[in-house]
Every structure is written in structure tokens, then in C-alpha cells.
Chain A
Amino acid sequence: MIAVTGRRRVVWAPTLASPDWTLTLLALALSVTGLLLVWSATRLGGDYALLVRQAVAVGIGLVLMWFVSRCDLRVLRAYVPVAYVLALISLAAVLSPLGVRVNGAHSWIVLAPGVQFQPSEFAKVALALAFAVPLGELRDGQRRPGFGGVVLALMLAAVPIGLIALQPDLGTMLVFAAMVTGALLVSGAPKRWLLVLVVGAAGAAVAAWKLGLVRPYQLERLLVLANPAADPGGVGYNAAQARIAIGSGGLTGKGLFNGEQTAGHFVPEQHTDFIFTVAGEELGFAGAAAIVLAMGALLWRGLSIARHSASPYGTVLAGGLVSWMAFQTFLNVGMTVGLMPIVGVPLPFVSYGGSATVAGLLAIGLLQAVHRTKAMQP
């Protein structure tokens, strides 16, 4: 037995393949860039607390990333129900008196003074993990998820999305929807389900409009996208100031810490959702394009991991994670350059925000886990 076990791998103590160093380095580079930009955006307050907090968040995120990346996917799988239920509980808690209202939405929970987190960021990770279970764990001989699997998956997704709609947080809802769509796409689910998703989304939008669930400010944001000059002092202010900051950066930018628009705090929420404007102004087209390209490369690696995953579960999980980050990046950068409406989502790895930073690095850890988990030996 001993001799035999010496030659064969033990299932419950698997060895892992080497990590995808490119992926880790890209995530690290984006996080460090994010720290520099947050520093630039907040330094004139004379207060380094935000920079320190973000650095701590990056540190925690890296530790968690390292930890998760060393776990076999099958081991992690055991904790998915726990993570999912915890995510639902915390999402429900923000709606309770425990939640804190910021900018009109309940999205924070304060654990202790100065320590708060945004459950919806962690819910992204939990949903990616949970969604992949019915779609990725196929019975023998099954090559794609069946009807029951897809319905279960959509039900798993509907609960957290519904809770976020109650906050309400339109941006995060859209990110969840993109993640669900992406995961469903790579799972190989029949095309009609994708059609159902599109029709369902359109129906939900119409219903929300008809029932008056769309708030006036959300509508205004959409209108301002069409014509940003309509109201430069009000809703369009963010959009106009963001575009001015980015546009004035030119080809090579004004240099890190030299952005005058940044120093004057003309772009609201600049260190969080509008961090990309700091890059646009201070680093110019060269720097902004480098960030977009780095993000693109990171997503490309993620899709490669999905493609080469040892299990359908890994493929669906990686597909969901990549879809989440891809859509969130496009939404965030798109709103700062006037391609998308102003919806509050952070730029992954770069924006200030502890929960989002930790969740992003956790997602990289999960991608590494998918990458490193080898096929079960027969």
C-alpha cells in the first residue's frame, strides 16, 4: 500500500500545477497603479488615511489571493454553500438597520467604527462560485447543463440580484447580470436560455419603467449620457468634469501628482468610481491605454484559464469571474469617457474601496485555483 500510494496521488491532498504568474503580476501591477492614483487623488487633503486603508486592503487581498490560489477547486467547492448563504445574509443585513446609506443606496455594513464592508462585492465572488455548481457539475455523459441545472442556477442568481435591487444599486445589478450571462454562455447552456435571459432583462426593464421603479436620477443619468451639455451643473457635472480631466491629459499626461483638475477636486468621487480620470489626466493617453491594455491582458489570461480548466465547473467559474470584471471595467471606464451612463461601479483593482479590492484579488485567487487544479486521476 505504501509503495502504491507513493506512486499515486491522493485525492484529498492534491498537488497543484504552478500558478499563472502573468495573471498575478498583472493584478499586482494594477493594484500598485491604483495605490499611486489614490494617493494622487487624496494627497491634497493632507490626510494619508485613505491611502493607508487602501494599502491595507491590497495587503489583505493579496494574502487571501495567495491562500485561495493554493486550494484545490474541489476543496473550495465544499465551502460554496456556506459562502453563498453568508452572502445572502449580509446582503439582507444591509437592508436592515445595520446597513448604512451612502449616496441614496443601502450598501454598507459597519462592523466597527471605521471598519465597514460592502456585501455586494463579496456576493459577486459567492455568486460566481454558486452559479457554477448547477451549471458545471454535470452528470456522467452530460456535455452541457440540462433544463433543471439552468433553472436552479438562475434561481440562485435571482435572490442576490433581487436583494441588490432593493438597495437599490443599479451598477452592481448590471454587473451581476453580466456575470450570469457570461457564465451561462461558457457553460454551453442551450442558446434559447440566452434568449430567455435577454427577453427577461428587457421585460424587467420595461416593467421597472412602467411600475415606476426607475428613480428619476437614474433616468437623468441616461439622458445626460445622450447629451452631457444638457445640465453641466447638475447630473452632467460628473460626466463633463471627468471628460475634461481625461481630455486635458493629452498624449503623455501632466505627470503623476501634477494633475491640476485632480488637485482642484473637480471630479466628484475621484478616488473611488472616477479613479480612471486621475490616470487620464496625469498619465495621459499612454498611461490610460496601458491600464486598459493590462486589464484586457488579465481578462485574456482569465479566458485562457477557463478554456483549459480541468473541469466544467472551473470553466463556468472562470467565465463568470472574467465576465464580471470585463463588464465592470467597461462600465467604469466607459462612464468616465462618456460612453456609458454614470452608474457607480469601481474599477477593479484600481479604485479606492476595501471590499472591491479584496473581492477582486480573491477572484484572481480563484482563477489561479482553477488554473492549478489538475484533472482527477482515475
Chain B
Amino acid sequence: MGFLDIDNTTKSYGAVEVLHKIDISVEEGEFLVLVGPSGCGKSTLLNMIAGLEEITSGEIRIKDATMNGVHASKRNIAMVFQSYALYPNMTVGKNITFGLEMHGVPKPERDNAMNDVAKLLQIEQLLDRKPGALSGGQRQRVAMGRALVRNPDVFLFDEPLSNLDAKLRVDMRTEIKKLHQKLGTTIVYVTHDQIEAMTLSTRIAVMNGGYVQQLGTPQEIYDTPANIFVATFMGSPAMNVLPAKVAIENGKPTAQVALHDGSLTSLPFSQDNMADWAGKDILLGIRPETITDEDAADRKSTNIAHMTNRIIVTEPAGSDTFVTMEMGGKDVIARMRSDAEVQAGADFSFAVNMEKAVAFDPETETRIVP
């Protein structure tokens, strides 16, 4: 039994099922991020936890009490909306205390709570202003203040940073993380931004098409993706997925991958059970940062493969240089040091850290578990 349990929960609109048997258990103090592309059902799931959408079947429990049919205001949750949803006709102070007022908290207590939250979020000087007179970042803080003042069991965030500009978004991300570490509250956070998901969460649920594709810590999701969807959705640039054939060389399983000129290169697997796939086609997943120049290869890795391939495009990004080449008939991106001497059209000697490579079954698109 977790702190927040989503138990076999489905959601249908008429005959259309949009969420299929979701099973997630969140411990107290956890930061769970629901991440996925638009229309994957993540916001619907959040609204079901909030009580804004009905649960079609299954059960949602907070602190072991069922929330099915319990009104949103009685679940002891607070929500921060994408548009902040500040009441335009009320001052910041009123916005923050409106929920307390609706719950019949007397005025002196409300003011105390408001002042505490305002101090915590450093918005004391804004309390008498109307939301229209605030900047995006300030509105974001007020929205969080409105959620914090209720002292809820669970915080729900619905893409709270997507309306901010890039720099402010990074600042607020850090701010939210700090707040979580300081207060130790349970948070469910919806985003489509995989970087937000990776940086903020203690656990991630990657969703697609109404299914939870994978539930795990950021590291698990990144290193051992359950399937090709998770592998390519998490990480930027996305993981390279290319067709390969498994062969046995010197008693070890290797992936045979075609290079730009059609010649084959052998990339030895670290996983011994890949021998079972000898002679079969697989999809090989290689993260861009595991393909480097020889000098930058990971010294701790026990399995560095080498290959020479032609560079098609180089994209210097300042901190890194991204290099595009062709492998297995697909464009493959490698992330190089910015001072690696790469040149478009030239052949280059690459080092591939095969310890980090993953293999997928081309039929089911799921990862072949070592």
C-alpha cells in the first residue's frame, strides 16, 4: 500500500477507452512524473486523481482511503494548472487564501498561512496586486503558493512550466525541485518535456496511447528502456535504433551493422544471452553520447567497439558537436566533444561503448532482457 495508489484504473469516454488499466503506487514524499506525447492520457489521469474527471473503473486511493466519487475539494489535494488559473478579479493574497476561505478557515489563520507561503516563495511584495499585473514567473509562484497554502497530501502539477520562456523554465524547474526537497511532499507532475521528467522526478511513468509504457527511476528509464517507444522518447537527441543481425564471433555474440558503403562492422554485445538470437534480426539501440571519438571513449567501459564510418553532417552546438552518419540504412547521431576534429564527407574512426547498447525484438519492439 502506497501513499497514493492508482489501482487498475481505466477511463472511457462512451465506448472509447482512453486509459487502460493503469497501476501506479506512489510512496510518501515521492516525485512522480507522468510523461508522454500529446494525447497519451497523462493529463486525464492527473484530472482523475484530482477528482475533476470520473473514474470509469478501478480505484484511486490516497492514504488508503478510496477517492472514487469523492469531490475534488475533499481529497486534500492541490493543483497547479498549465495556465496558472489565477482568479483575475482577486488580488494575489485573495487568490492564495480563497481555498481556505471556502473551507471555512477563520481570517486570522488564513492571513498567517498566506504570509508563511508568501515568505517561502518570496512573493510578499505582490500580495496586493492583481494577477494581470504580474509576469509569467510571478504568476507561476502565486499558483504554487495557492497550492502550498492548503498543506495538501498530494500536489498535482499539470505542465506548469510550458507557458514560460526557456530560461525562466529552467529556473522554475530548479525552484520546484528545491521546494520538493525542502517540504518533502508527494508530487504528481505531468509534462511532455522529457528533460523536466528526468531532472525533477524520483520516478517516471512514461505513457503512450493510454498505457503506462514503463514505470521506473530516471536512470532505469534511460539505461534500460522497456521498449522502443520509451527508448526514443526519453533522451535528446533520441536514441539511435538501427537494424542489425546477430552473429557469433570468437564465441561471443556480436551485432553486424551495415555502414555507409554497405560493408559490415561487428559490434560485440556485453550481454551473453544475445547468443540465443544468433542468425536473427534485431534492432540495436545506441545512445548518441555512447558513440564518440577514440580519445573520448569511456575508460571505465569494458566493451568499446571501434568502427570507421563516413560523416554526413556535423552540427556544432557549442558544448558538443553532433555528427550524423549512416548505419544500417538509418541516420545515426553521435554526440562528440566540441573539439573533436570532425569534418563532413570525411571518414572518421568512432568508438562505440557497447556496454550501454540495448537490443530490441523487432517483432514486439520490446527490449531483450539480458
Q: Do A and B interact with each other, yes or no?
A: no
